Structure 1
């Protein structure tokens, strides 16, 4: 087999971005779409020329000609379709966070052990070339033992009112940096402390500040602000510093590396994660799907995007949220 026939479950804005990525990868064929929204299903089917349209993911999974699925439902709706797809023997690309509870994450991990298909968790930041190069340098021993890490992942307020009624900034975005820190250090997090700030009185707070302690004794601080002012001239302020006993790595994916000024304002389109060219997405998301496809076609379990890693990142972030609610340091493991 040289091509995977893939279906998408969940057609929100990111499900559509998945589709725009898949159509540009020769080893993938976008073969089916699934959402309960009939109007959205028809519109997306027409846009991508897909004939197999489903309102129930179980009907999609019953199709023996579907080799793989991408699951882009909300995080609290991951468990049932992920387990069903794994039981059906499909290869599964599951967007982060892996689940909304540690218990559900463990159920998904367990289901992956008995499946003919592979399970890959879409922690896209691992495919950002800057973080990949940092990982190479750390693995080569260039900065010695890691003793401290810090990150910033802040976005404008205009992006987040709807999102904050579904997920908070720590699990919603700091989980990227949590996963990266676990990957870069090869360590485990043993405690979490966090504070949050509610600016707009939405269901979840606008700001999360988190501290982790690793088993090695290293510490980390993570800043996640989901309410940067409307006039902020860029869409993300993304940074990380990794301090070792023999060196330092600083990663910056912020401020305009591409600036377009029109009669409205300054725009800084994404050039890293899913840049669009002629209706097709590239960047880290394309690299992520390419990696998933190569692993699935080879029948190999992924080394990047392992479900166990995603479960560990989720557990740490949920512990941080519990710390913010209780005011206590939360021990992990």
Structure 2
């Protein structure tokens, strides 16, 4: 692709995170936010008017037929991921699909097959892989600084207020636990052998509010994922996310909950996001921008993404899908 021309980008799905994608893309150099799509005409008009986007669609097939779109972000409900991603790949678009790739391994396999046959590039948006703290941890592991990994534990917990907004769409384990499942498999370069999980469902939404999953990996390590979306609404931080990795010769700890800033005012104490998609002085920055820039660079150079591969994304879905099955049955699931 000619580097002098901007990458023309469309967004399919304008829920909360689809809007975040669109907002970030609209501010990025060398990217032209060309088209937006959601099923609700009033919603697409709202976002397109605000961002000055001319091409507006309520049918994603029409966006995929638009020759002025090179790349699409697919930020829809997880149950819509498979068909939209496959259609986008078959339409010749480069596709950035939000995680999780799909709700089932079978769906993932269909997407992976379509990606292998497509002319465009494909990547699943596992944003945590672009967090500099996580990247430095991966580097330290690869340098052998903590020896062989024997144990990992992560928690990624949110307030009940956020849970109530999301838990009709996805469970806490599949929605957020998948981040840490992916990071643990990336860090260890191992595969899951067995999975056991338990979930809790104190709320009134469709999916469980929280869960714990323990996996035995094929390198002998034990990995535990905790994700609970039932913290008090007064919780000051946006997310309580911490990851511990213990090796035969050392350990490392990643704290993604401490943002480095506390604001104390009449409403109490709040710890705003300073890492993922903050907007200091009215301009977006952060990890999401790094992910988008990375995929844009892949499109410009024609080089397939290596930071996260489709097979790696599928493996994280497989673990969390097995955790759901284990929690429902009470059984250990063997791979």
TM-score range normalised by the length of the shorter chain: over 0.9
Tell me the equivalent position of 1:25. 28
Question: Which of residues 46, 49, 58 in structure 2 aligns to 1:46?
Answer: 49
1:14 aligns with 2:17: yes
Tell me the equivalent position of 1:228. 231
What does the per-residue CA deviation read over 1:181-232, in whole Å, with 9 as the maximum and x for residues that have no partner?
Answer: 1111111111110011111232111110110111111001111110001222
1:62 aligns with 2:65: yes
- Greater shift, 288-297 or 304-313, is seen at 304-313
Q: Do 1:23 and 1:280's aligned partners in 2 also have CA atoms closer than 8 Å?
A: no
Tell me the equivalent position of 1:320. 323
Q: Distance in 2 between matches of 1:92 and 1:285?
A: 16
Tell me the equivalent position of 2:166. 163
Tell me the equivalent position of 1:330. 333
Q: Do 1:17 and 1:281's aligned partners in 2 also have CA atoms closer than 8 Å?
A: no
C-alpha root-mean-square deviation of aligned residues, in Å?
1.1
What does the per-residue CA deviation read over 1:164-192, in whole Å, with 9 as the maximum and x for residues that have no partner?
Answer: 11111110110000001111111111111
- Greater shift, 248-257 or 315-324, is seen at 248-257
Tell me the equivalent position of 1:257. 260
What does the per-residue CA deviation read over 1:1-28, in whole Å, with 9 as the maximum and x for residues that have no partner?
Answer: 2221000000011011001111222121
Tell me the equivalent position of 1:111. 114
What does the per-residue CA deviation read over 1:208-266, in whole Å, with 9 as the maximum and x for residues that have no partner?
Answer: 01101111110011111100012222121110011111110111122452111222121
Q: Distance in 2 between matches of 1:278 and 1:117?
A: 36
**Structure 1, unpaired ranges of 5+:** none
- Greater shift, 142-151 or 19-28, is seen at 19-28
Q: Distance in 2 between matches of 1:292 and 1:221?
A: 30
Question: Which of residues 93, 96, 105 in structure 1 aligns to 2:99?
Answer: 96
Aligned pairs for 1:1-333 (under 5 A) are: 1-2=2-3, 3-332=6-335
**CA, structure 1 residues 279+42, in 2 after alignment: closer, same or farther (shift >3 Å)?**
farther
Secondary structure, aligned partner of 1:78: helix
Q: Distance in 1 between matches of 2:307 and 2:153?
A: 22
Secondary structure, aligned partner of 2:211: strand
- Greater shift, 17-26 or 173-182, is seen at 17-26
Taking structure 2 as the reference length, the TM-score comes to 0.97
Q: Do 2:159 and 2:235's aligned partners in 1 also have CA atoms closer than 8 Å?
A: yes
Taking structure 1 as the reference length, the TM-score comes to 0.97
Q: Distance in 1 between matches of 2:164 and 2:91?
A: 37
Corresponding residue pairs, total: 332
